[in-house]
Structure 1
Amino acid sequence: MFPQLIDTRPLRRAVDEALNWVVRNWGGELEAAAYPLLMLLNAIEKLLIATPWWLIVVILAGAAWLATRRWQLPMVVFVSLMFLGVMDLWQDAMTTMALMIAATITAIFASIPIGVWMSRSLRVRQVFTPLLDLMQTLPSFVYLIPTVMIFGPGKIPALIATIVYAAPPLVRLTDLGLRSVDPAVMEASRAFGTTPTQRLFGVQIPLALPTILAGVNQTTMMALAMVVIASMIGAGGLGYQVLQGIGRLEVSRGLFAGLGIVVLAIIFDRITQSFGKQLQARIGLMEAR
């Protein structure tokens, strides 16, 4: 046994009391601040559930065809979505997709500005890098403790925990993509008298877009990876089916719900990757000319 050098109980009590103080004094304000996230999630979920299944199949298969201009990926998307419908997992899949989309949209709006800020300031990068390391390595269950204490079980803590877990890759890849733009291109844009804002939106972001889209891909995959854990606090969806399979020892329920999560991951991973490769090819042609 490691010798007890100090008594850590006062420190633990201080941390618990600080969080309890936040819940007592700021719980209502924090719930009000997070209410737009709940509205976004509910709106996306209602839209997906109300949309006819065949229209969702057409939209996703069409996106796959636009991304590749080949029949193979649309066929994979079609068969995967048919699997969800045949196995009676469609509504749960739409609930899971809504959580993933809401978390990804929120992460995009929060992460890209931070990534731009990091790319422009070494000091900001030095501050945010350890924080991003902590967000990526801290066990996801740890996020659930304070969020459940503040908001109670439900969709808001599940969405917030998913956003915190999924956002770091997009921040990092936005920063990396913007800093990787060819200095000669940036110098040429300065020679034409462009402002920093014009260089950012007219040069850096378009050239860094494939890398940023790779960050969106990683954020989407990490959001899907959180669905089982998020279902423990009321997110529902396919993750809840997995938990029910564990609780009832129903192998088939857990297996098919797990395969449903894999299906969604394959669909969104392949589509976003294909769009990224398409952008890289276009930028390469532009540079070659």
Structure 2
Amino acid sequence: MDWLSKFPNMNDEALTALKKAIDDGFRAFTRSYGDGIEEFFEPLQYFLVQCERFMTGTPWPIILLLIAAIAWFASRSWKIVLGCVATLLLIGYFGMWADTMRTISMIFVCTVLAIAIGIPIGIAMSLSNRLQSIVNPVLDIMQTMPSFVYLIPVVMLLGIGKVPGLIAVVIYAIPPIIRLTNLGIRLVDKDVLEAADAFGSSGWQRLKNVQMPLALPTIMAGINQTIMMALAMVVIASMIGVQGLGQPVLKAIANQYFTLGVFNGFAIVGIAIIFDRVSQAYGRRLQKHREVIHG
């Protein structure tokens, strides 16, 4: 193993100096622009706080009816609706309603933000091979980077709180919706596009009226994956002050509270199943609609 010691690694002093220069530069950037960045994200914090207040302040029967109505609209399946209601009733019965509502509000805001950022990027990638070749390696890094690493720069810039956690969750969860938006638009049948061109459609009309509707099932699959990844990040984000089901799990790990960790873990699984079944059912409905159009 002597050959390992002969590996031509960087001089220790040079490496230390490089790391120190990067750290000092990031700290200087944080001191100079941290306040401005916090002000930029204030509307996002307001939106998150209002969503959380609505979910936690509204009586539980109304929230239950609202979620059931959304599940019915998306799936048109009584089995999925009853499954959603039963899961939420069990969560409430075991005393985890408030934390669950905070988690759902966080996932909702993360999903809205991911859709607002990810779909335009995916559309731009689908229209430019060069942009796709630039963005794909970035997405590869984002998907392979350990989730804890996202917390470091966000906390240094914005401190501890809901918004830093929200940003870390969005960064971690956004790659699937970008990739699948790009893929869905690129997979639209060329014959359909030629027909749209023959009818004199502009580039915007072709995108809005042909490509996006036909790509919707694939985009919905991307949204589904984004939601699942956001839920997976909830426990880690609780380390920097994100309230919800993640904090009791973190407390259970720190204090060896077995039942607290297991119950809240099952609640996260229950929410994941609800989101997964509803979004998948909606995607299948869109797929059938596309098949009817092609038929």
Normalised to the residue count of structure 1, the TM-score between the two structures is 0.97
Structure 2: which amino acid aligns with 1:79? Answer: A
The match for 1:254 among 258, 261, 269 is 261
Q: In the alignment, what sits opposite 1:169?
A: 176
Identical-residue share of aligned pairs (%) = 45
Deviation of the 1:4 alpha carbon: 5.9
Deviation of the 1:66 alpha carbon: 2.9
Residue deviations 1:180-222, cap 9 Å, x none? Answer: 0000000110011111000010000000011111111111111
Residue deviations 1:67-93, cap 9 Å, x none? Answer: 333321111111100111001100000
User: 2: distance between equivalents of 1:193 and 1:271?
Assistant: 37
Is residue 272 of structure 2 the alignment partner of residue 265 of structure 1?
yes
Residue deviations 1:208-263, cap 9 Å, x none? Answer: 01111111111111111110000000001100010111112110100101111001
Does the residue aligned with 1:232 lie in a helix, a strand or coil? Answer: helix
The match for 2:112 among 100, 105, 108 is 105
User: 1: distance between equivalents of 2:8 and 2:47?
Assistant: 49
Q: In the alignment, what sits opposite 1:6?
A: 10
Name the Cα RMSD after superposition. Answer: 1.1
> Structure 1: any 5+ residue segments left out of the alignment?
none
Does the residue aligned with 1:226 lie in a helix, a strand or coil? Answer: helix
Deviation of the 1:65 alpha carbon: 2.6
Residue deviations 1:14-39, cap 9 Å, x none? Answer: 22112101111111111111212211
Is residue 248 of structure 2 the alignment partner of residue 241 of structure 1?
yes
Q: Which consecutive segments of 4 or more residues in structure 1 shift more than 3 A?
A: 1-4
- The alignment covers a number of residue pairs equal to 288
Q: In the alignment, what sits opposite 1:280?
A: 287
Q: In the alignment, what sits opposite 2:150?
A: 143
Comparing 27-36 with 179-188, which one deviates more in the overlay? 27-36
User: 2: distance between equivalents of 1:164 and 1:21?
Assistant: 23
Normalised to the residue count of structure 2, the TM-score between the two structures is 0.95
Does the residue aligned with 1:272 lie in a helix, a strand or coil? Answer: helix
Q: In the alignment, what sits opposite 1:116?
A: 123
Is residue 33 of structure 2 the alignment partner of residue 29 of structure 1?
no
Q: In the alignment, what sits opposite 2:219?
A: 212
Q: In the alignment, what sits opposite 1:190?
A: 197
Does the residue aligned with 1:127 lie in a helix, a strand or coil? Answer: helix
Deviation of the 1:107 alpha carbon: 0.6
Q: In the alignment, what sits opposite 1:63?
A: 70
Residue deviations 1:106-129, cap 9 Å, x none? Answer: 010000000000000011001100
User: 2: distance between equivalents of 1:103 and 1:70?
Assistant: 26
